[in-house]
Amino acid sequence: MKINEGGGAFMGNTLDYSDKDVAIHANASQFINVKATRNNDQRKGILIWHEVSEAYEGGIISMRQGQYSPNCGEESVYHQAHREANKHFNGELMKYELRDGAYGYSLK
């Protein structure tokens, strides 16, 4: 399988159910392209936050639907999760210093 060269890739999820067949926990999988984030200091926080948000949103969507999601195909919630994750980026980047003198970025 070829992983995209952007920030990462939605890898689907599985659900855990209660005794009453109600989804109570989602196990989301997400690939984060460390090479892409390492080479893009200013957007590092945004790229990682997007991938984490996409996995989270995919899990929430799958739990609401009561069905796990593969990483791609008609049954995948990827496109909806991607759209929802993109809604998290209305903030500005905030630069912060780490204790070793390096710096990083986060959303305000």
2 occurs within a structural domain: no
Question: Contact at 8 Å (CB) between 33 and 39?
Answer: no
Task: Please report the DSSP string for 15-35 in residue order.
Answer: EEE-TTS-EEEEEEEEEE-HH
Whether 1 is covered by a domain: the verdict is no
**60 is a domain residue:** yes
Amino acid at 20: K
Range of the domain at 37: 8-107
Inform me whether the pLDDT recorded for 1 exceeds 70.
Answer: no
Taking the C-alpha atoms of residue 73 and residue 20, their distance in angstroms, rounded to an integer, is 28
Does residue 87 belong to any structural domain of this protein? yes
Q: CA-CA distances (angstroms) from residue 72 to 30, 69, 88, 97?
A: 12, 8, 22, 38
> Based on the structure, what is the number of domains in the chain?
1
Q: Structure pTM?
A: 0.71
Residues 59-80 have pLDDT tens digits of 999 999 999 999 988 899 999 9
Domain presence at residue 65: yes
